[in-house]
């Protein structure tokens, strides 16, 4: 019904789809049609869904019919069709932000339709989709003896039987011809211990800060300091040239056209020099700031994790981990952390040995990469080492600041 011709253009109604949905709303608002009957009426009039699928499907073998009532119900409940912008992620509720598209139904019609649907439901509460703690993180390794063997992605599944539901993690494909599954509880119950294993002892913070400060300083190197000094001298010279240029223009020794051209060239050179200087000066500061935030998170991870709801715990795990690997019995046998936690965890696991590695300088440290949590890695290049210091998910940590403040007030920080 709604087509988005371009992400920068306003949303417009597809006239053909609008006709279908306006008819569906009219049938609902009479109060005489059930969702099944609305589907049947749309089908009888020759309409299909946007995907081309019919509103009523019939099994040719048994003659049994099925109806697209779930699709119909979801659409009737969407405030989008009443012309409202809503977002659970950003906390935007119906009635706060008007859309720039024409509403298909009025507010009164929308409210009346919701009331009819609620009455048909008998006031029952709709259950939300199941949340899985390790969504997008969990993999299974069939061959436990091979640490570098293939792993298989897992997803959540909640089959039902005998009036009960059973929550499992199940492989998305069939390794060796079988879809492997493990009860969610078996895996989820191991996560608190895993969290404690990757957290950092607060007593080690000064030593770790000293180590990463030394690494960043070696990474920067004397050549960067020399370049900063050169750029500062260049900026000072450009500013002197501006004064000389202004004097020549004031004395009438430059035409307007010549002055504009020379001044434009001067501005471009000054901008380039100042930009490079800011980058050299700010990059180490940003790296240190990111590492400090990540280190504080690791040092109070256990206390923070206990305070979060399951959905927030899932977000936190995705910030920390790239993947978690289990065996066929559901036992966690391997994991890999995201940047910069893999780097900080390596320093925390062996601060003394890391200190020894850095005595020969940065290149010696790079030739002996930090432990990547059970995975064997080749020596790091300087560029790869920089990526280990970066914090691409820094903005997502801001979501946990209210909880971090609460932990701080309770004396954990």
CATH architecture of 2-121: Alpha-Beta Complex (3.90)
- Per-residue model confidence as pLDDT tens digits over 64-83: 889 988 889 888 988 888 88
pLDDT of residue 330: 93
- Asked if 11 contacts 101 with a C-beta cutoff of 8 angstroms, the reply is yes
Give percent of the chain with pLDDT exceeding 90.
Answer: 22
Q: How far apart are CA 371 and CA 336, in angstroms?
A: 10
Cα–Cα distance between 372 and 367 in angstroms, integer? 14
Q: What is the pLDDT of residue 321?
A: 93
Residue-wise pLDDT for 167-184, tens only, equals: 899 999 888 888 999 999
Percentage of residues in the chain with pLDDT exceeding 70?
71
CA neighbor of 197 nearest in space, from 397, 99, 332, 322? 332
pLDDT category, 133, cuts 50, 70, 90?
very high
Region 121-142: mean pLDDT is 75
Domain parsing of the chain, residue ranges: 2-121, 202-409
- Tell whether the model's pLDDT for residue 216 goes beyond 90: no
Kindly state the helix (H) or strand (E) to which residue 328 belongs, with its residue range: none
The pTM for the full model equals: 0.51
Q: CA 278 to CA 297: how far, in whole Å?
A: 28
Question: pLDDT class for 378, splitting at 50, 70, 90?
Answer: very low
- Which residue from 403, 335, 343, 409 is spatially nearest to 375, judged by alpha carbons? 335
pLDDT score recorded for residue 42: 93
Whether 1 contacts 18, CB under 8 Å:
yes
Highest mean pLDDT among 4-8, 97-101, 272-276: 97-101
């Amino acid at each position: 019904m709604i087509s988005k011709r371009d992400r920068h253009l306003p949303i417009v109604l597809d006239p053909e789809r609008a006709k279908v949905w306006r008819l569906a709303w009219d049938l609902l608002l009479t109060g005489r049609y059930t969702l099944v009957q609305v589907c049947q009426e749309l089908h009888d009039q020759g309409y299909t869904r946007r995907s081309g699928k019919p509103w009523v499907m019939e099994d040719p073998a048994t003659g049994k019919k099925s109806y697209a009532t779930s699709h119909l119900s979801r659409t009737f409940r969407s405030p989008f069709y009443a012309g409202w912008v809503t977002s659970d992620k950003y906390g935007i509720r119906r009635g706060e932000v008007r859309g720039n598209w024409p509403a298909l139904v009025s507010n009164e019609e929308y409210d009346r339709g919701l009331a009819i649907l609620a009455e048909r439901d008998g006031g029952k509460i709709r259950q939300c989709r199941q949340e899985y703690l390790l969504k997008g993180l969990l993999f299974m390794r069939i061959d436990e003896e091979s640490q570098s063997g293939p792993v298989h992605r897992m997803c959540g599944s909640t089959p039902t039987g005998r009036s009960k539901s059973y929550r499992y993690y199940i492989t998305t494909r069939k390794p060796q011809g079988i879809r492997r599954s493990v009860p969610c509880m078996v895996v989820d119950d191991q996560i608190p211990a895993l969290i404690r294993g990757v957290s950092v002892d607060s007593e080690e913070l000064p030593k770790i800060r000293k180590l990463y400060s030394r690494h960043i300083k070696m990474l920067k190197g004397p050549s960067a300091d020399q370049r900063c000094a050169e750029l500062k001298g260049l900026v000072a010279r450009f500013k002197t040239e501006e004064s000389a240029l202004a004097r020549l223009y004031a004395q009438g020794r430059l035409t307007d056209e010549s002055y504009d051209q020379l001044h434009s060239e001067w501005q471009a050179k000054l901008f380039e020099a100042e930009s490079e200087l800011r980058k050299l000066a700010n990059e180490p500061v940003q790296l240190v700031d990111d590492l400090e935030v990540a280190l504080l998170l690791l040092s109070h991870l256990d206390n923070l994790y206990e305070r979060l709801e399951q959905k927030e715990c899932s977000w936190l795990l995705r910030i920390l981990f790239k993947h978690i690997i289990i065996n066929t019995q559901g036992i966690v046998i391997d994991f890999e952390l995201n940047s910069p936690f893999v780097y900080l965890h390596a320093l925390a696991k062996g601060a003394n040995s890391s200190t020894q590695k850095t005595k020969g300088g940065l290149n010696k440290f790079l030739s002996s990469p930090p432990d990547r949590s059970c995975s064997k890695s080749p020596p790091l290049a300087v560029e790869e080492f920089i990526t280990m210091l970066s914090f691409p998910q820094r903005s997502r940590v801001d979501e946990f600041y209210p909880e971090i403040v609460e932990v701080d007030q309770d004396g954990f920080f």
